[in-house]
Amino acid sequence: MKLSRRRLFELAFGATQVGLLSSFAPRRARAQSMGEGPTKMLSIWVDGGLHFESFFAPLTRAGITKFIPGPTGGNYPLGYSPSQVENFDRSPLDLNSPDPVKKIRGPIYWDWNNSTEAGAPNPAST
């Protein structure tokens, strides 16, 4: 059998495929300890689906007024006003800041003064 360049290429290509098949073969699963990683996960249920505008407010005061509906109040609030938006670290808020890097902020649907009352609506959303 004469060894041509084409035949040599076919043999090399076949050997490469065999090598790749062995690397993608199923492996036996091994349980490993998580070590110091997290042990719990928090899941938040939002009635009606997940809308990130319910959690975070990256908009300016004019953007909130234009794109977010006004607050309807109650235990399942829909929409919010610029007066409800606060920084989550309770630092002073500037909704009109042109700075592209902003602190994490969002609408506050609870009453900071009465946070133990689960059914109390936010006074700003009534």
Return per-residue pLDDT of the chain as tens, 126 residues: 678 888 888 888 888 887 777 777 677 766 666 677 777 888 777 666 666 666 788 888 898 899 888 887 666 667 888 888 888 888 888 888 877 788 888 888 776 777 666 555 555 555
* DSSP character string of 71-109: P--SSS-----GGGEEETT-----TT---SS---EEE--
Q: What is the DSSP letter of 120?
A: P
Q: Is pTM beyond 0.85 here?
A: no
Task: Spell out the domain ranges in the chain.
Answer: 50-126
Half-sphere exposure of 18 (CA within 13 A, CB side): 6
pLDDT of residue 100: 79
pLDDT of residue 66: 92
Q: What's the pLDDT score for residue 116? A: 64
Phi, psi of 106 (to 5 degrees): -170, 175
Amino acid, res. 119: G
